Chains A and B, each alone.
Chain A
Amino acid sequence: MTQALDPQAVRDLSMFVRTGADGADAMDLAVGGIKCAVCMATIEKGLSHEPGVVSARVNLASKRLTVEWTRGENSPERIIDRLDELGFRAHPFSPRKLDSEEAIEERKLLRCLGVAAFGAMNIMLLSVSVWSGNFSDITPETRDFFHWLSALIALPTAAYAGRPFYESALRALKAGAVNMDVPITLGVVLALGMSVVETWQHAEHAYFDSAVMLLFFLLIGRYLDQSVRRRTRDVASNLATLRADTASRILPDGTIVDVPVEAIDPGDVVLASPGQRIAVDGIVDSGQSDVDQSLITGETRHVPVARGANVYAGTLNISGQLRIRVTKAESGTLLAEIERLLTGAIEGRAKYVRLADRAARLYAPVVHTTAALTFIGWLIAGLAWKPALLIAITVLIITCPCALALAIPAVQVVATQALFRRSVLLHAPDALERLADVDTIVFDKTGTLTLPKPALANGGAIDPALLARAGQLAVASRHPLALAVAEAAGKPAAALDVREEPGAGVFALIDGAEARLGSLAFCDARDAGDAVAAAYPDASLIAFRHGEAVAVFAVEQGLRDDAVETVAGLKQAGFRLLILSGDRGEAVRRAADALGLDDFAGDLKPADKIARLAVLAGEGRKVLMVGDGLNDAPSLAAAHVSLSPVTAVHLAQAAADGVFLGDHLKPVSDSVRTAKIARKVMAQNLWLAVIYNIIAVPLAIAGFVTPLIAALAMSGSSILVTLNALSARR
């Protein structure tokens, strides 16, 4: 029996359509491959000629596209096909995913920043006049007028622009904790209150400018922090969307419709063709095949499945067609076990106290005690309570942690951006600091140290002419092993009239002789196969016969290109390195040998991996876990910090603190290195802030500080720590 290759199924993407402006249909898409303004123009122009399209607008910063069309005149499937013709891979977002909390928060911060900038500029204009007037001939009436005007601008500005700080400070206080926003809020409120009282009494000095400038500087830091975080999130969610997980649902009447995985419910029956990733968890209804479960268990050897067997989302269907009945994770299955472990790991994770919060805990009591002592000291020295209180408040204002509050976020922004350029996306806000603690790195083997895509291992030993002919057959098949052969042959044009023998291989006439590509039996190549199997024990074999000539290809997941040097580099840098894998011990040993590692273990269940991590943590080690499989998800959550490659399963990516892109392992060592540099710069910045306080506080205690000195000291120290933060870019 033979069958046609690559049947075209019907697709249904209607779940992604939302109602846009004026009742038109609209859709938001993640688009892969947008690099520059030319791509933007190509897409927008290309789509604008499509029937019914009202508007098509690319967002170049977030690499997204919004299309609107008149209902009934176009369809999401057609638009995606058109984009494909234009050379861009696109997949729609679910409507609810858009306009994330991050984007809303970012706009709010930007609004606050704009208001604070307006306030700071206008008040500074008035303040500079007062300061210079104090040295020359300003009349008390004019000064009062300027001060009242400043108050008129400063009070509403601070009330509006300071909300992010007040809200966060209140939240912290309600939870019984102190964060950096508590002293900030206190400083701003006290500075404004004292200035109003001073202005009332026609005094020479008012601190309206200090309060608003403080908010302005801090908001710049907050905004940059938020915007870097949102950009990282955007890229990550684009990548997740572009994976475009679809499943072929079999309707009761037998028609097959390709639908997004989100639209599949338990009880549905889906079809998995050979070469396809299985998109759902379920039980095989009918059909027989081998399944590559390496993403789930780490096991590289294919597992035979038949009616009644459990299959998991993320596994690769190798040889036969399967009908799968979708089920939810039931107790007793691998999935339920992993979810139970994952929940346990997340609950058990110690709450990490960030450096900034630790600094705030130390800082707040010291400053408040100093201010109180200043007040008491001046009273004892014989000053009336009012001027003494004034000086005490000045101490609080001058120590208001402008530099301290910028010291860490500024470094965070610079380092996160540096990692972003090196294809590491950190999504946990404290991931950078936790990465800096790392002294031990645990790797999963399959898909992490090795590339997830299998490749030809013995290409050098095969006659190039034969490989080229095998390639002509291989490109016509969707079998993963054939794909590797096609790749190695340079993807030649397919031979004419290639037919498939399901479960065995493909065949066609090439140059007058029959050519076959498939299992060893199908190509009658058992003897040649034994030799290759001995040389490549971990590989899967696929044979090719052309007339009398025979070749056996060994296909395996090779180590990442730079794995050996990256591992060597990390080892030299003094990290303890381990491999913990779910694959067979033999296979793990060979990978460890190739990398020069002697600390490894195979055949591990998810719970075993967690136990090993617990032992390491018990020794006081800070572990970076790098893994991609479903079986790694619990240990990714349990480790001190974790990374996963972008090819990882969803659950693993969600459990990890960051994702790295591309085919290389170097991002792992880059991220640890950058994090360590960033930690060093953070410490430097904290010291700079301390030195600033050591100089400024005695002046304030002595009562010498005027608003002019406060303004200079505050902006000077803020600029200093910001410039220093740039050195974390390396």
Chain B
Amino acid sequence: MNVLVYLVPMALMLGLVGLVAFLWSLHNRQFDDLEGAGWRAIADDDIDPKS
């Protein structure tokens, strides 16, 4: 059971990283327009038409 001493804190840490990432993106207003964000991913305005 000694392995728990490493694994449990690691699992918690990973979870916390996810939580912090979520709060960060919320703070940066990435959740303000979920509809538009979905479409922006497939917009082709960054592709040079010649290539």
In the complex, the answer to whether B11 meets A62 with C-beta atoms within 8 Å is: no
Using CB atoms, name the residue of chain A closest to B21: A114
One digit per residue, 1 when the CB lies within 8 angstroms of any chain A CB and 0 when it does not, for chain B 1-44 equals: 10010001001100110110011001000011111100110110
**CB within 8 Å for A41 and B36 given contacts A114-B22, A122-B15:** no
In Å, the complex CA distance between A401 and B15 comes to: 29
Set of chain A residues within 8 Å of B1, measured between Cβ atoms? 139, 142
B23 → chain A closest CB, angstroms: 6
In the complex, the answer to whether A114 meets B26 with C-beta atoms within 8 Å is: yes
Set of chain A residues within 8 Å of B19, measured between Cβ atoms? 114-115, 118
In the complex, the answer to whether A59 meets B23 with C-beta atoms within 8 Å is: no
In Å, the complex CA distance between A396 and B6 comes to: 37
Of the candidates A60, A114, A115, A142, the one whose C-beta lies within 8 Å of that of B39 is A60
In the complex, the answer to whether A37 meets B45 with C-beta atoms within 8 Å is: no
A223 → chain B closest CB, angstroms: 11
In Å, the complex CA distance between A610 and B16 comes to: 59
In the complex, the answer to whether B15 meets A118 with C-beta atoms within 8 Å is: yes
A403 touches B (CB below 8 Å)? no
A40 → chain B closest CB, angstroms: 6
B49 → chain A closest CB, angstroms: 13
In Å, the complex CA distance between A40 and B26 comes to: 22
In Å, the complex CA distance between A36 and B38 comes to: 11
In the complex, the answer to whether A60 meets B35 with C-beta atoms within 8 Å is: yes
Using CB atoms, name the residue of chain A closest to B44: A41
Of the candidates A37, A125, A139, A145, the one whose C-beta lies within 8 Å of that of B43 is A37
Using CB atoms, name the residue of chain B closest to A125: B11
A318 → chain B closest CB, angstroms: 43
B18 → chain A closest CB, angstroms: 7
In the complex, the answer to whether B33 meets A61 with C-beta atoms within 8 Å is: yes
In the complex, the answer to whether B36 meets A110 with C-beta atoms within 8 Å is: no
In the complex, the answer to whether B36 meets A61 with C-beta atoms within 8 Å is: yes
A183 → chain B closest CB, angstroms: 28
| Interface set of A (CB-CB < 8 Å, partner B) | 36-37, 40-41, 45, 58-62, 107, 110-111, 114-115, 118, 121-122, 125, 139, 142, 145, 149, 153
Using CB atoms, name the residue of chain B closest to A38: B39
Set of chain A residues within 8 Å of B45, measured between Cβ atoms? 41, 45
Set of chain B residues within 8 Å of A122, measured between Cβ atoms? 11-12, 15
Using CB atoms, name the residue of chain B closest to A34: B36
In the complex, the answer to whether B8 meets A149 with C-beta atoms within 8 Å is: yes
Using CB atoms, name the residue of chain B closest to A45: B45
Using CB atoms, name the residue of chain B closest to A138: B1
In the complex, the answer to whether B31 meets A110 with C-beta atoms within 8 Å is: yes
In Å, the complex CA distance between A142 and B39 comes to: 49
In the complex, the answer to whether A114 meets B4 with C-beta atoms within 8 Å is: no
Q: Interface majority SS on A: helix, strand, loop or mixed?
A: helix
Using CB atoms, name the residue of chain A closest to B37: A60
In the complex, the answer to whether A58 meets B36 with C-beta atoms within 8 Å is: yes
In the complex, the answer to whether B35 meets A61 with C-beta atoms within 8 Å is: yes
In the complex, the answer to whether A61 meets B34 with C-beta atoms within 8 Å is: yes
In the complex, the answer to whether B32 meets A40 with C-beta atoms within 8 Å is: no
Using CB atoms, name the residue of chain A closest to B16: A118
In Å, the complex CA distance between A125 and B7 comes to: 12
Identify the 10 closest CB pairs spanning chains A and B, nearest first: A60-B36, A37-B39, A59-B33, A118-B19, A61-B35, A60-B35, A114-B22, A61-B33, A122-B15, A60-B33
In Å, the complex CA distance between A142 and B1 comes to: 8
A661 → chain B closest CB, angstroms: 20
**CB within 8 Å for A111 and B33 given contacts A40-B39, A118-B16, A121-B15:** no
In Å, the complex CA distance between A111 and B26 comes to: 8
A420 → chain B closest CB, angstroms: 14
Complex A-B: 25 CB contacts under 8 Å = A37-B36, A37-B40, A40-B40, A41-B45, A45-B45, A59-B33, A60-B35, A60-B39, A61-B34, A61-B35, A61-B36, A62-B32, A62-B33, A110-B31, A111-B23, A114-B22, A114-B23, A118-B15, A118-B18, A121-B15, A122-B12, A122-B15, A142-B1, A142-B4, A149-B12
Set of chain B residues within 8 Å of A59, measured between Cβ atoms? 32-33, 36
A196 → chain B closest CB, angstroms: 19
B1 → chain A closest CB, angstroms: 6
Using CB atoms, name the residue of chain A closest to B1: A142
Set of chain A residues within 8 Å of B18, measured between Cβ atoms? 118
Set of chain A residues within 8 Å of B42, measured between Cβ atoms? 37
Using CB atoms, name the residue of chain B closest to A149: B8
In Å, the complex CA distance between A118 and B14 comes to: 11
In Å, the complex CA distance between A458 and B9 comes to: 81
In Å, the complex CA distance between A36 and B45 comes to: 16
Set of chain A residues within 8 Å of B8, measured between Cβ atoms? 149
Set of chain A residues within 8 Å of B16, measured between Cβ atoms? 118
Set of chain A residues within 8 Å of B32, measured between Cβ atoms? 59, 61-62
Set of chain B residues within 8 Å of A153, measured between Cβ atoms? 12
Set of chain B residues within 8 Å of A114, measured between Cβ atoms? 19, 22-23, 26
In Å, the complex CA distance between A45 and B34 comes to: 20
Using CB atoms, name the residue of chain A closest to B41: A37
**CB within 8 Å for A110 and B39 given contacts A118-B15, A142-B1:** no
A143 → chain B closest CB, angstroms: 11
**CB within 8 Å for A107 and B26 given contacts A114-B19, A125-B11, A139-B1:** yes
- Among A111, A115, A122, which residue has the most Cβ atoms of chain B within 10 A? A122
In Å, the complex CA distance between A185 and B9 comes to: 30
Please give 11 more A-B residue pairs, beta carbons under 8 A apart, in addition to A37-B43, A111-B26, A115-B19. A40-B36, A41-B43, A41-B45, A45-B45, A59-B36, A60-B39, A111-B23, A122-B15, A125-B11, A142-B4, A149-B8
B42 → chain A closest CB, angstroms: 8
B39 → chain A closest CB, angstroms: 3
A653 → chain B closest CB, angstroms: 26
In Å, the complex CA distance between A139 and B2 comes to: 13
In Å, the complex CA distance between A311 and B28 comes to: 48
Set of chain B residues within 8 Å of A58, measured between Cβ atoms? 36
In Å, the complex CA distance between A4 and B8 comes to: 82
B15 → chain A closest CB, angstroms: 5
Set of chain A residues within 8 Å of B12, measured between Cβ atoms? 122, 149, 153
A663 → chain B closest CB, angstroms: 27
In Å, the complex CA distance between A153 and B16 comes to: 11
Using CB atoms, name the residue of chain A closest to B19: A118
A423 → chain B closest CB, angstroms: 19
In Å, the complex CA distance between A107 and B16 comes to: 19
Set of chain B residues within 8 Å of A62, measured between Cβ atoms? 32-33
Set of chain A residues within 8 Å of B36, measured between Cβ atoms? 37, 40, 58-61
In Å, the complex CA distance between A60 and B42 comes to: 15
In Å, the complex CA distance between A62 and B33 comes to: 7
In Å, the complex CA distance between A125 and B4 comes to: 13
In the complex, the answer to whether B33 meets A110 with C-beta atoms within 8 Å is: no
B41 → chain A closest CB, angstroms: 10
B26 → chain A closest CB, angstroms: 6
Using CB atoms, name the residue of chain A closest to B14: A122
- Among B23, B34, B36, B40, which residue has the most Cβ atoms of chain A within 10 A? B36
Using CB atoms, name the residue of chain B closest to A36: B39
Set of chain A residues within 8 Å of B22, measured between Cβ atoms? 114
